[in-house]
């Protein structure tokens, strides 16, 4: 499917009317979209009610549950700062939290129904690309903005989203290029890939393969496995038979079972180099394993590390945080939605969506909600530079430039989330 242009999205936004819908319960806001379906009309889009309502569909359960706390904290911190600065359009921003679960459940779809029923104007999430694929049509057809802090599947660049889908995480083609280069640069001329079989795993594996082979390495085996499988002995045996120098692991929580099988079959890190990605770079998933199991394993995570000052601010909303992955991207998503609503002078999804690109680049630079909002109120064009990076959306709703961090596990099976081996910046289109 071809993504409609943002210019067309603006025109489309002015030709949408919403069917009336009864929520059947208390609502935190009555944004113009709500749970109603969007249908063509010659009338102008219905304006929002003046209260920006942000919903979240982020992992409280499922195979990415470890990403939930930092993502929720990023949203909560942003909303605290927004409301402390006077809110949006003169009113506090309302928030409704829901669970995304994972692809083994229907939790995300049920959560979206709840959010649309309570008149959410924008929905932050999901973390999983496959989960987002399952709900993006329902959200965008309702005229609501979907904004993910963590989706990296390349599919979202060209998806038909009515101009209403955005993300602060870069597409996998950039992470895949960095990881493929890293594997080859480390002297691995034979590589095996174990990837979960979904849009995230397959897309990332494709890019790693392409880049590694262009750099002179040979991908001698690739296994796209079922992440719901009870065990992975046959998958690992296929890799072992090819005797690779490096193994790239692309998955989520189930990677712990894959790691146990690698160890069982003798493919330990002192014999074969392992590489991971953002979906399985966890500081909690491998702690019960013998010390040294992951020592020396390298992995990539999109975005710069959360600055220490930002981490301290996050701890004020969640003192138990130990992982900061995608916290900055979640924070920036929330700030950008609020600024777009201010710029549009309208909280409805169809009104604020075209303004998201405008507030992300091209104007006077600002780095927090209050200073950016003050500039908007003074009639200035703004360029919000976020904690996760400059953002600068392209016409596809992707950040045009992004940073990928390379991290390494120590003997305690943890990596230092605040200290990367290196950062590599790249242009998404390049």
What per-residue confidence (pLDDT) applies to 138? Answer: 98
Torsion of CA 404, 281, 324, 72, to 10 degrees: 110
pLDDT digits (tens, 9 = 90+) for 340-395: 999 999 999 999 999 999 999 999 999 999 999 999 999 999 999 999 989 999 99
Which pLDDT belongs to residue 323?
87
Least confident residue range of 187-191, 202-206, 245-249, 322-326: 322-326
Is pTM beyond 0.95? Reply is no
pLDDT band at 306; cut points 50, 70, 90: confident
Beta-sheet pairing, 298-302 with 401-408: antiparallel
Give yes or no for residue 36 having a pLDDT over 60.
no
Question: How high is the pLDDT of residue 429?
Answer: 63
3 state DSSP class of 117: helix
Sorted by sequence, the CB contacts under 8 Å of residue 22 that are 6+ apart come out as none
- Beta partners for 222? 193
pLDDT of residue 6: 41
Give the list of residues 6+ apart from residue 244 with CB closer than 8 angstroms, or none. Answer: 188, 190, 191, 192, 220, 221, 272
Flag whether pLDDT at 212 surpasses 70.
yes
99-112: pLDDT as tens digits: 999 999 999 999 99
């Amino acid at each position: 499917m071809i993504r409609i242009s943002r210019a067309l999205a603006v025109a489309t936004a002015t030709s949408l009317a919403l069917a009336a819908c009864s929520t059947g319960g208390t609502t935190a806001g009555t944004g113009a979209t709500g749970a109603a379906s969007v249908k063509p009309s010659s009338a102008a889009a219905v304006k929002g009610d003046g209260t920006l309502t942000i919903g979240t569909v982020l992992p409280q359960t499922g195979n990415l549950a470890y990403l939930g706390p930092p993502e929720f904290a990023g949203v909560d911190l942003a909303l605290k700062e927004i409301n402390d600065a006077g809110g949006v359009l003169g009113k506090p921003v309302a928030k409704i939290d829901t669970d995304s679960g994972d692809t083994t459940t229907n939790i995300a779809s049920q959560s979206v129904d709840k959010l649309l029923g309570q008149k959410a104007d924008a929905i932050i999430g999901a973390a999983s690309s496959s989960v987002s694929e399952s709900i993006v049509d329902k959200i965008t057809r309702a005229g609501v903005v979907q904004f993910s802090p963590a989706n990296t599947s390349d599919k979202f660049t060209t998806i038909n989203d009515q101009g209403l889908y955005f993300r602060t995480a870069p597409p996998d083609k950039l992470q895949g290029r960095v990881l493929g280069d890293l594997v080859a640069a480390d002297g691995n001329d034979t590589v095996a890939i174990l990837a979960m079989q979904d849009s995230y795993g397959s897309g990332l594996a494709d890019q790693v393969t392409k880049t590694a082979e262009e750099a002179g390495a040979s991908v001698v085996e690739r296994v796209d496995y079922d992440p719901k499988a009870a065990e992975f002995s046959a998958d690992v045996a296929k890799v072992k038979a090819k005797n690779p120098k490096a193994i790239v692991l692309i998955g989520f929580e189930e990677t712990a079972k894959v790691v146990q099988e690698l160890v069982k079959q003798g493919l330990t890190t002192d014999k074969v180099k392992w590489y991971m990605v953002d979906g399985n770079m966890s500081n909690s998933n491998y702690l019960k394993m013998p010390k040294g199991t992951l020592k020396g394993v390298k992995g990539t995570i999109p975005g710069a590390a959360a600055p220490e000052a930002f981490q301290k601010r996050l701890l004020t909303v969640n003192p138990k945080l130990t992982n900061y992955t995608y916290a900055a991207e979640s924070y920036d998503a929330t700030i950008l939605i609020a600024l777009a609503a201010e710029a549009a002078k309208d909280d409805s999804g169809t009104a604020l969506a075209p303004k998201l690109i405008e507030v992300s680049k091209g104007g006077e630079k600002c780095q927090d909600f209050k200073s950016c909002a003050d500039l908007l109120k003074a009639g200035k064009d703004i360029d919000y530079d976020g904690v996760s990076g400059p953002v600068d959306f392209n016409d596809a709703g992707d950040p045009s430039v992004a940073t990928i961090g390379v991290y390494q596990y120590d003997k305690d099976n943890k990596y230092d989330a605040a200290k990367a081996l290196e950062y590599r910046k790249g242009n998404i289109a390049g």
